[in-house]
Amino acid sequence: MESLSQTIRPGAVNFKSGIPNNNFIEEVLLCANLKLLAMQLTLEFGGGLELLCNSLKIHKVNVDPQDGEKLTMKHLLAWVRTNLIKERPEMFMKGDSVRPGVLVLINDCDWELSEQLDTVLEEDDVVVFISTLHGG
Amino acid sequence: MPVYMSTVRTLMEPNGNGLMADEESKICSEIESLEAEKAQIDLRISALRAQLNSCNSNSNSVRKEESDVTNSGDLRPTGVSSNGQLSADMVYRYSRHLLLPSFGVEAQANLLTSSVLVIGAGGLGSPALLYLTACGVGRVGIVDHDVVELNNLQRQIIHNEANIGRSKVESAAAACRAINSTVQIVEHKEAFRTSNALEIMSKYDIVIDATDNVPSRYMINDCCVVLGKPLISGAALGLEGQLTVYNYNGGPCYRCLFPTPPPTTACQRCSDSGVLGVVPGVIGCLQALEAIKVAAAVGEPLSGRMLLLDALSARIRVVKIRGRSLQCEACGENATMTAQQFRYFDYEKFTQSPLSTSPLKLNLLPEDARITSEEYNERVVKGEAHVLVDVRPAHHCKIVSLPNSINIPLGSLEGRLSEISASLEREGGNKSVDASQGASLYVICRRGNDSQRAVEYLHKMGFTSAKDIIGGLESWAHDVDPKFPTY
């Protein structure tokens, strides 16, 4: 899997032959751009949290990594609060985390199974914020 | 006398023809009285069946004693012999289950000797109860303290019009017995409280949480942990539903996931936010399915995972949730939740919300800043120059509203104060009232809470004469115009 991902990574050099890929130049440029480009993520809000962001459930967003390299959940939450939450931010956050009763799912897994606030996000990750329901 | 012109669009216009109307009302009243009689007979049949069941179970209890260890109750699997053979009737009734290679006789026999407690006979409980009874769970318990109301029937499909005003437990039990008289249906016509929870729940193998409020969910979870019962938890609101199995096979409990209760402002209820009837229906069916899997010991119950249903976009996702938490106060390593502690735990205090679903009644304003709906009516009849602001959300106003009210939802009040000023000026001018007095300002909402919040804000912003109509449109319907629709 690792070797596969290396062969498709932009700017990769075929070290076996020692000859750069045909598109070497373009890929080097692309690679340089990628560092500056924001990370594309899909954010979903459910269980009523969507009401805090214009009643839109799915948001395709581009978020700048904080130090130009990695993007953590902590940074993403702050970004969401500033950029997506339109009203009653206290219904979404408490301190620098989500309020009690909100589940955070990164690629369909509870963030308690990763590093919660310290989880490092990757390109195309899907992050779901869902408020627990009590009705019946 | 209602002063407003009827802006309400009623579904059925009364028939203009007097004779026809007479005929109609005669038929209607006969239907009504027959329905009442029928309901009485149904309930009597249901009660007799229950009596018959308890007679049977007494005579069968000797045979059952050795087979059931976890159960202190007397589970009566009619049609299962001591060597696990099903009777001819049972084979025929459950033949479609027996034909399933992955279910078969063994799983069916497990079902017949299992017991499930369903807490809440509402939107979730209705389909869950119907399926559990139909599929042949040995004993089904129903807990609820409520009565059937007309606005339940859109989703609580176990109840019917004839049972409006009757206990939900009686109504649900009668429906269950009509489907499968071989299942023992136990009626618990009481609220589930710390004082009776342990005693009720200890008689069952599996628990279904079909309640509608936060304190009940914590209480049911803790009781399940104390007694070691798997908990099939479902919830629905609006167009979304959630489902998971707690406290099962080393998996997490409700408190592992939600150690801290949510703020009360985040706890929406169906009676405020609405719910599409079929959504709790779907979740309730899935709860029955998970209970059946646990009871029959087949498949992979939804433990450590959660199903999220988004009905509007037809999306169902099953996500992986955390495992049992070692720090959990109910089931963790140093957990202190014992039967004794449970009995004295104050769940309403813990969650800051009431166990009963009675609506909130705020009292924010001094008396002179409020008037009753009758007083408001009198002032309108007198022709007082005034502006009526309705602060409900716009979609509420589409259901019904008072004439000449301006709809400015509470959330947008801040940005629309100029509209109120303009209206006040216009009204004041129109009715040539004493200029120093001007037109008066009244605020109304559904139940009289948001209108108080609005008046409080208006006072701050210089609209010092603003008054709240106590009890909102509900009190208008109750005290002024009984024909005004409530919702």
* pLDDT digits 0-9 by tens, A76-99: 999 999 999 998 999 999 999 999
Enumerate the residues of chain B whose CB falls inside 8 A of the CB of residue A110.
319-322
Does B172 share its domain with B193?
A: yes
Statement: residue B16 has pLDDT above 70: no
Whether B92 is covered by a domain: the verdict is no
Lowest average pLDDT, out of B12-21, B222-231, B295-304, goes to B12-21
Taking only the tens place, the pLDDT of each residue in B445-467 is 999 999 999 999 999 999 999 99
pLDDT at A12 (0 to 100): 40
Task: Looking at the structure, tell me whether residues B248 and B227 fall in a common domain.
Answer: yes
Residues belonging to the binding site of B for ATP are 123, 144, 151-155, 168, 212-213
Q: Which residues of B touch A86 (CB under 8 A)?
A: none
Residue B50 has pLDDT above 90, yes or no: no
Q: Is the pLDDT of residue B200 over 70?
A: yes
Instruction: List the domain range (segments joined by +) for residue B7.
Output: 1-54
Using the beta-carbon criterion (under 8 Å), do B262 and A130 form an inter-chain contact?
A: no
**pLDDT surpassing 60 at residue A1:** no
* Domain edges within chain A: 4-36, 39-131
> Does residue A106 sit at the B interface (CB-CB below 8 Å)?
no
pLDDT band for position B38 (50/70/90)? confident
Is the pLDDT at A109 greater than 60, yes or no?
Answer: yes
At residue B11, does pLDDT exceed 70? no
Closest residue by Cα to residue B126 from B101, B102, B153:
B153
Among B50-64, B165-179, B352-366, name the one with the lowest average pLDDT: B50-64
- pLDDT band at residue B10, thresholds of 50, 70 and 90? very low
Is residue B144 included in any domain, yes or no?
Answer: yes
Residues B256 and B138 reside in one and the same domain? yes
A-facing residues of B in 297-356 (CB < 8 A) are: 306, 308, 310, 313, 317-322
User: What's the number of domains chain B is made of?
Assistant: 3
**pLDDT confidence of residue A10:** 39
The answer to whether residue B182 is domain-embedded is yes
Q: For chain B, what is the mean pLDDT?
A: 89
pLDDT digits (tens, 9 = 90+) for B313-351: 999 999 999 999 999 999 999 998 999 999 999 999 999
Is pLDDT at A21 greater than 90 in this prediction? no
* CATH at B453: 3.40.250.10
- In B, minimum Cα distance to A107 occurs at B319
Residues B402 and B462 in one domain: yes
Residue contact A91–B268, C-beta within 8 A: no
The answer to whether residue B112 scores a pLDDT higher than 90 is: yes
pLDDT at B370: 96
* Average of per-residue pLDDT across A100-120: 96
Q: Which of B212, B313, B321 sits opposite A135 (nearest CB)?
A: B212
Nearest to A74 by CA among A52, A93, A48: A93
Least confident range of A29-38, B185-194, B272-281, B296-305:
A29-38
List the one residue out of B407, B409, B415 whose CA is nearest residue B393: B409
The answer on pLDDT for A121 being more than 90 is: yes
What pLDDT is attached to residue B42? 84
CATH number of the domain at B189, please.
Answer: 3.40.50.720
Indicate the DSSP class of residue A14. Answer: E
Residues B175 and B260 in one domain: yes
In this structure, is residue B441 part of a structural domain? yes
CB-based contact B263 A132, cutoff 8 Å: no
Out of A46, A91, A100, the one facing B261 most closely (by C-beta) is A100
**pLDDT above 90: residue B424:** yes
Contacts of A46 in chain B (CB under 8 A): 240, 308, 310
Mean pLDDT confidence for B120-126: 98
For the cut 50, the answer to whether the pLDDT of residue A4 exceeds it is no
Q: How many CB atoms lie within 10 A of CB B3?
A: 15
Same domain, B336 and B445: no
Q: Are residues B340 and B426 in the same domain?
A: no
Could you tell me if B304 and B201 lie in one domain? yes
What pLDDT is stored for residue B271 in this prediction?
Answer: 82
- The mean pLDDT of B94-100, rounded to a whole number, is 97
Does B275 have pLDDT greater than 80? yes
If you classify domain A39-131 with CATH, what class do you get? Answer: alpha beta
Instruction: Please compute the mean of the pLDDT values over residues B1-26 and round it to a whole number.
Output: 60
User: pTM for this structure?
Assistant: 0.81
**Least confident piece of the model among B155-169, B349-363, B370-384:** B349-363
Nearest CA distance, A91 vs chain B (angstrom): 7
At residue A38, the pLDDT reads 85
Q: How confident is the model at residue B358 (pLDDT cuts 50, 70, 90)?
A: low
Q: Do B434 and B473 fall into the same domain? A: yes
Residue A13 has pLDDT above 50, yes or no: no
Residue A27's pLDDT is what? 52
- Judge if B451 and B329 occupy the same domain: no
| Nearest Cβ partner for B266 among A91, A103, A110 | A91
For residue B358, being part of any structural domain is answered with no
User: What is the interface pTM, i.e. ipTM, of the complex?
Assistant: 0.79
Does residue B94 form part of some domain?
no
The predicted pLDDT at position B238 comes to 94
Q: How large a percentage of chain B has pLDDT more than 70?
A: 88
Query: Which residue is catalytic, options B55, B270, B285, B397?
Result: B270
pLDDT at B52: 80
Closest by Cβ to B262, choosing from A46, A110, A132: A132
Among candidates B231, B114, B132, B224, which has minimal Cα distance to B176? Answer: B132
Q: Does B242 touch chain A (CB under 8 A)?
A: yes
Residue B93 lies in a domain: no
B459 and B326 together in one domain: no
Pairwise CB contact (< 8 Å): A57 & B313: yes
Do B49 and B175 fall into the same domain?
A: no
The model's confidence at residue B267, banded by pLDDT at 50, 70 and 90, is confident
The pLDDT assigned to A23 comes to 54
Kindly indicate the confidence band of residue A36, based on its pLDDT and cuts at 50, 70 and 90: low
Contact B438, B466 (CB under 8 A): no
DSSP bridge partners of B208: B118, B232
Which pLDDT value is given to residue B171?
96
